[in-house]
Amino acid sequence: MIETGIPKLDGYLHGGVPEGRSLVYYTYPGVAGDVFGMQTICHATSNGRLGVYVASSTDPQMIRDQFSEFGWATENYDGRFIVVDAFSWLIGADSQERYVVSDPEDINSLTQCIKKVMEEMSEPGIIVFESLSTIMDLCGESETLDALEEWSQYAMLYDHALVYNFTAWPYSEETLLHVKENVCNSVISVGGITGDVVFGQYFGVLKVDWADLARKSTLFKVLKPGGIRAYIPKILVTGPFDAGKSTFVHALSNRAVSVDRLGTTIALDHGHVDRKGFAADIFGTPGQERFDPIVKLLSGEAMGIFLLLDSTNTADFERGKRMLEITKSFGLPVVIVANKQDLAEALTPEEIRRELDMPADVRIMPAVAATGEGVFEAFETLVERVMEVD
């Protein structure tokens, strides 16, 4: 299996793309889909695979610069990153690449070059096409679709995996349906959640013929550097006064701000987390009862909830349960953080469960927010629970 390197996607594909199979990132216009192919080839080459990138709409040096912007320095891959130049001829420029397509507007010229690359690769690797759409525009829709079948058959002979970036411009319905259903062994839909503008992006598996289909979608955002991150736009951190919410948000976040007066949060904490392929925005609420209307307002559209409790202060546990009710969080993934576990009088998570009368499926995790102990474990637990929701 050749991993894609996209958070959650390799799980949906049961390990990645098998050697000799193909995958297409089927991207809707307006969504940043080209990064998927870039991240896939860089993940493969950084893990010792041979990677070939077929450049059809960008100068090869500019491509290397684009990769560097995401933190992927292709020169560090010990010669395992190869560019097929199917662009320079279009602008009448000379090419320094080993493999150059003599006429990118002729599908036979492109096929000949791709076959040569496949033959000369010393071991099974991955071939990523920068833009199948550009090839279609240059060579014709039907001609390109015929060539795809030939490339797939040839790749199977050498156990190479093929990956295509495809943008669903207004091609014929027959072409779009063919790409979506017949061209590749797996199809990954990359789309946007839209109103008047695109305000969220997601990916999901439309087709996979080597494993059971996981009908799930994952929100994502693109970071520079970093690439694709599975993205949770809103996680709420709530709990009673002085439970340690602000400390927790700051310990968890790559960057965070608090609105406070005399050391007490009076509006909200806001942090951003980027960890292990996941990104999330964290919002912490004030704990005093007079701010309950703000807590209710902040809880809108939250995808997961942290309830922070001071493990030494049982008097505030009922207030904590009340704050969960205010956020209408029952039904959302919840992780209860038993903070201040370094203090001698702190109750254990199981003692807190009994005090709260919480069901066994609600995770209660120990933490010391002041030192960061247990903070990221709680985050990863909540992320997994959020991502389990269809």
Give 74-77 contacts, CB < 8 A, sequence gap 24+: 74/42, 74/45, 77/42, 77/45, 77/46, 77/51
Per-residue pLDDT tens over the stretch 160-186? 999 999 999 999 999 999 999 999 999
- Do residues 187 and 205 lie in contact, with contact meaning Cβ atoms separated by under 8 Å? yes
Cα maximum dimension of the chain? 77
Residue 169's CB is within 10 A of a number of other CB atoms, namely: 12
Which of the four pLDDT bands, split at 50, 70 and 90, describes residue 199? low
Residue 155 has pLDDT above 50, yes or no: yes
Residue 331's CB is within 10 A of a number of other CB atoms, namely: 7
Measured at the CA of 210, the angle between CA 229 and CA 13, to 5 degrees, comes to: 10
Q: Give the pLDDT mean for 340-367.
A: 93
- Cα–Cα distance, 53 to 377 (Å, whole number): 37
Q: Which residue has the tokens 């559209």?
A: 301
DSSP secondary structure letter of residue 74: G
Per-residue pLDDT tens over the stretch 38-76? 999 999 999 999 999 999 999 999 999 999 999 999 988
- Do residues 68 and 108 lie in contact, with contact meaning Cβ atoms separated by under 8 Å? no
Crossing angle between the packed helical segments 173-181 and 141-158, to the nearest 10 degrees = 10
Residue 383's nearest CA partner among 252, 194, 201 is 252
Q: pTM score > 0.75 for this model?
A: yes
- Cα–Cα distance, 314 to 307 (Å, whole number): 14
CB-count exposure of residue 300 (10 Å: 0-12, 13-18, 19+): exposed
Mean pLDDT, the chain, integer: 88
Residue 142 has pLDDT above 80, yes or no: yes
Residue 377 has pLDDT above 60, yes or no: yes
Tell me, what's the pLDDT at 295? 60
Residue 246's nearest CA partner among 231, 273, 264 is 264
Tell me, what's the pLDDT at 324? 79
Residue 297 has pLDDT above 90, yes or no: no
User: Domains of the chain, with CATH numbers?
Assistant: 9-225 (3.40.50.300), 232-388 (3.40.50.300)
Main-chain dihedrals φ then ψ at residue 297, nearest 5 degrees = -65, -45
- Cα–Cα distance, 229 to 213 (Å, whole number): 22
Q: Give the pLDDT mean for 72-100.
A: 93
- Cα–Cα distance, 236 to 335 (Å, whole number): 11
Tell me, what's the pLDDT at 197? 46
CB-count exposure of residue 91 (10 Å: 0-12, 13-18, 19+): exposed
- Cα–Cα distance, 40 to 120 (Å, whole number): 21
Tell me, what's the pLDDT at 329? 57
Per-residue pLDDT tens over the stretch 99-137? 999 999 999 999 999 999 999 999 999 999 999 999 999
Q: What is the DSSP string of 282-335?
A: EEEPP-SGGGHHHHHHHTTT-SEEEEEEETT-GGGHHHHHHHHHHTT-BTB-EE
